[in-house]
Structure 1
């Protein structure tokens, strides 16, 4: 009789499941607040939504919480350039490299190019290598002996951790593209979505780029996803990673000028960490208008350390103190470097970023114009936009070039003329001299400014203290390089501007929640 009751109860329960009641252990689907339809349910449209997640911090980066600050001139304009007029702007949160890109990092890039585009296999690959290699001749000077640096600085292991120099803006830009793809390829390999690549794992046009993978133009060798990493479509079949999965990182890029300047000041009250309390957030710290990138010692010249024991009195940056004095006297070297110094020299600023003053000046993304600061937007001010779109062939298909990159083409003025937010595809010259923004420059005749002039910031090992202030700015053509200019990368922040595990906006708790 007892067994009969158990069997009867089981039959009733199974019947109830057929009538639509939930079965114990069945996956509960999240519903759309807009339609009421289930997400990730093949029986209700199959719309797939990944669980919300914070953006991971990419290799080499630190989080820089954005905010408002006064961009531009801090000290007297001794150069008389009138090109950094103070102006209040807002910078969204972003990520910045902790250090300048070092020789060892750039050699990794050269190694990858040599592996994927070997010159011995195709003589045309020599153009690719030549376009990427730093110009070591930047060390030469007519009245100085610098031949050892020309020969050894980039390749000798003694200089592994020193900033790469002789890199043009264009080369720095290409490095950022390469780095973006290698980071995302590494993530995909580590999670098993694509197979790990050996020394000969990729060849020429079939090399991984994030965009070619997302567009289905890269033929990936499948990997073996581990438990918890498997991705399936609505029908349960394996599928490729998409940007909506939150697995891939945004692109690395050169920081725009306002970002770089904001990050250099390190305007955050870290004592020992930023406070979350309303009254102690230090949001007006920028009012002190410090001159250099370190937040302590703001009431003095700011170039020497005042409180770190044996370091007290030592310089806080690698720069030129005066004529003929690039490092001090033997037994008491004031900045411990005659030329560049290792990328983690000296103390980091409030955001944890090294050498934002001195060592090497750094390329930023912006095209140089003296008065862009007055013309640009209040949020994310930037000059240099040239809008691009996906190139499609006669069959309406996207294509990749000989390096495996997806082909892009410029947005035309005809495509832009009916828009409200921009009317031209190339807006580098926007608000640049006349009503139609068609200004031109007599490059090499009346000015050295052109559409290829790019801003660099921060001062270098061979600059006086004036150039160490983040507000100063200079420019050089994007295809030129120098022994005093290097670079670092940045990345956009997705999600809450306050950082991971933080929500955006004010969220009021219900009465049931503890206060």
Structure 2
């Protein structure tokens, strides 16, 4: 037995030779990394800054004492996420929901692409008459064993969905199509709309903090699955303001093309995080079709420190993204969309929101970091957080604290809330007509810091 083991070891050693490394330590080569600036984002060079109130704490909140912190480089959306961009998310969820229903019907009825009609939307494996060893292994050991029974089965995205009722091919497609819309008795003015309650996005994340603190747990104990209804709450325009006629905004703001470039509102913290997860999934789905390309780093909400660092635009101790201390320029023009002059909303040339790229950007080319809509951040609101959080890439996010940070002030706020050091919050399941968000992505590659850029 010893001779056999020695022989195996020698063969294994000899087999490792001849790879071109000449027995040298050359490291393992992974997939080629092709760094790219995400569309619509700008690179914020990392560095240190003084976080907190730059001026006197006139509101006496005592929640933002000055603290020097350092953040790494990251990409950030140049504008708030717009209605058009968020509609891309809702329409993708709508389409994937219909495709799933069609695939399930095809599976139940034993239909395959060769049958045409609904069969064209069958699961990818439905017509796989000669599966590979791996495909057969996955089918035998995984498919049908999950929570829904359809985990591991791929939808067919190659076929175009049919939305014109005149072209519906068969009764199964008609059934799936009808299930996506509100009932006829709930329609008005002869128009049926998609039942937005059906637009649900499901995703899973690893709770790294829980895993680190509980090393004995199995992997499945710290994988969390979230199921989120993702359509914006358009009723916020009515609920946020009593005795105010805002029905046109309720009816048109999210879906009408006139508002496509305006920031999305009516999105709670959980929906904003779901959008970031979908954006990651959507981007990686494209990259995986190109052989040898690695996944991108996840899109996410910014931490409170990242948001404030980016909002300052490299200006140390500034009150606003443009400096300050005033909200007007030297010609008397307002520099952001907010509530000036004791409620003269139109004095800044805007009544509600404005286009996401309105007004001048700060020195990092970021628009409306103050005003227009407040923005969700990936941090819990803790009044004393600055006292104990780390000075290196700080974040305080307690899943049991439902109060989440919002920063930047909005179209309905006075200038105090536009100050880059002002902190505010809203409950994570609350949607408002004045809260939106933008996303960030960690920068990977050659170090880029503000200090290096200025030396």
TM-score, normalized by length of structure 1? 0.57
Question: Residue 411 of structure 2 corresponds to which residue in structure 1?
Answer: 461
- Give secondary structure in 2 for the equivalent of 1:95: strand
The answer for the alignment partner of 2:124 in structure 1 is none
The DSSP-based 3-state class of the residue aligned with 2:271 is helix
Q: Is the 8 A contact 2:199 2:231 kept in 1?
A: no
Q: Which residue of 2 aligns with 1:128?
A: 200
- Contact 2:83 / 2:262 at 8 angstroms: preserved in 1? yes
Aligned length: 316
Q: Does 1:326 align with 2:345?
A: yes
8 Å contact 1:54–1:495 — kept in the other structure? no
Match of 2:29 in 1: 48
Cα distance between partner residues in 2 of 1:155 and 1:178: 20
Matched, 1:252 2:252: no
* C-alpha contact (below 8 Å) 1:319/1:460 kept by paired residues: yes
Q: 1:496 to 1:144 in 2, by over 3 A?
A: same
Shift of 1:103: 0.3
What do residues 48-68 of structure 1 show as CA deviations (whole Å, max 9, x unaligned)?
3455x5621112211000111
Q: What is the rounded CA distance, in whole Å, between the counterparts of 2:322 and 2:452 in structure 1? A: 29
CA distance in 1 between counterparts of 2:86 and 2:78 reads 16
* Contact 2:72-2:393 at 8 Å conserved across structures: yes
Which position in structure 2 is the counterpart of 1:173? 273
Match of 1:99 among 52, 71, 79: 79
Shift of 1:290: 1.1
Unaligned runs of 5+ in 2: 1-18, 102-174, 181-194, 202-227
Q: What is the alpha-carbon distance in structure 2 between the residues aligned to residue 356 and residue 114 of structure 1?
A: 31
Q: State the secondary structure of the residue aligned to 2:235.
A: helix
Matched with 1:375 is 388
Deviation at 1:481, TM superposition (A): 1.0
Cα pair 2:94 2:199 within 8 Å, conserved: no
- 1:263 matched to 2:310? The reply is yes
CA deviation string 1:138-186 (max 9, x = no partner)? 1012211001101100011110000000000000000000011111222
Instruction: Describe the SS at the equivalent of 2:276.
Output: helix
Q: Equivalences for 1:263-302 in 2 at 5 Å?
A: 263-267=310-314, 286=316, 289-295=317-323, 298=324, 301-302=325-326
Which residue in the other structure is 2:375 paired with?
A: 362
Larger Rg: 1
| CA distance in structure 2 between the aligned counterparts of 1:95 and 1:179, rounded to whole angstroms | 14
Residue 353 of structure 2: aligned partner: 340
2:60 is aligned to: 80
Distance (Å, rounded) in 1 between the aligned partners of 2:304 and 2:338? 21
SS at match of 1:476: strand
Post-superposition shift, 1:503? 9.9
Work out whether residues 93 and 199 of structure 2, in 8 Å CA contact, stay in contact via their aligned partners in 1: no
Following the alignment from structure 1 to structure 2, what is the Cα–Cα distance between the partners of residues 49 and 101?
Answer: 34
CA deviation digits over 1:202-227, x for unaligned, max 9? xxxxxxxxxxxxxxxxxxxxxxxxxx
Q: Deviations over 1:439-486 (max 9, x none)?
A: xxxxxxxxxxx6111000001001111111111111111110111100
Contact 2:359 2:368 in 1 (8 A): yes
After TM superposition, list the pairs within 5 Å mapping 1:164-243 onto structure 2.
164-189=264-289, 191=290, 193=291, 241=292
Given that residues 346 and 355 in structure 1 are in contact (C-alpha distance below 8 angstroms), is that contact kept between their aligned partners in structure 2? yes
Q: Deviations over 1:378-400 (max 9, x none)?
A: 1011011xxxxxxxxxxxxxxxx
Structure-2 change in CA distance of 1:88 and 1:326 (3 Å):
same
Contact 2:53–2:422 (CA<8 Å) still a contact in 1?
A: yes
Q: For 1:483 and 1:72, locate their aligned partners in 2 and report how far apart those are by CA, in whole Å.
A: 26
Q: Could you report, residue by residue, the CA deviation over 1:391-444 in whole angstroms, capped at 9, with x for unpaired residues?
A: xxxxxxxxxxxxxxxxxxxxxxxxxxxxxxxxxxxxx28xxxxxxxxxxxxxxx
Change beyond 3 A, Cα 1:326–1:116: same
1:107 is displaced (CA, Å) by 0.7
Unaligned runs of 5+ residues in structure 1 are: 1-28, 40-46, 194-240, 268-284, 307-311, 329-334, 385-427, 430-449, 507-515
Query: Could you tell me how far apart the structure 2 residues matched to 1:451 and 1:38 are?
Result: 48
C-alpha distance in structure 1 between counterparts of 2:31 and 2:281, whole Å: 22
2:428 equivalent to 1:478: yes
Q: Does 1:158 align with 2:171?
A: no
Contact 2:71 2:392 in 1 (8 A): yes
**SS of 2:85 mapped into structure 1:** helix
Does 2:332 correspond to 1:304? Answer: no
Pair 1:71 & 2:51 matched: yes
Shift of 1:86: 1.2
Residue 36 of structure 1 is matched in structure 2 by: 24
Contact 2:277 2:299 in 1 (8 A): yes
What is the rounded CA distance, in whole Å, between the counterparts of 2:364 and 2:270 in structure 1?
Answer: 27
- Contact in 2 for aligned 1:30/1:38 (Cα 8 Å): no
Distance 1:38 1:478, change over 3 A: same
Alignment CA distance shift 1:30-1:259 (3 Å) = farther
Deviation of 1:127 (Å): 6.1
Q: Distance in 2 between matches of 1:461 and 1:54?
A: 39
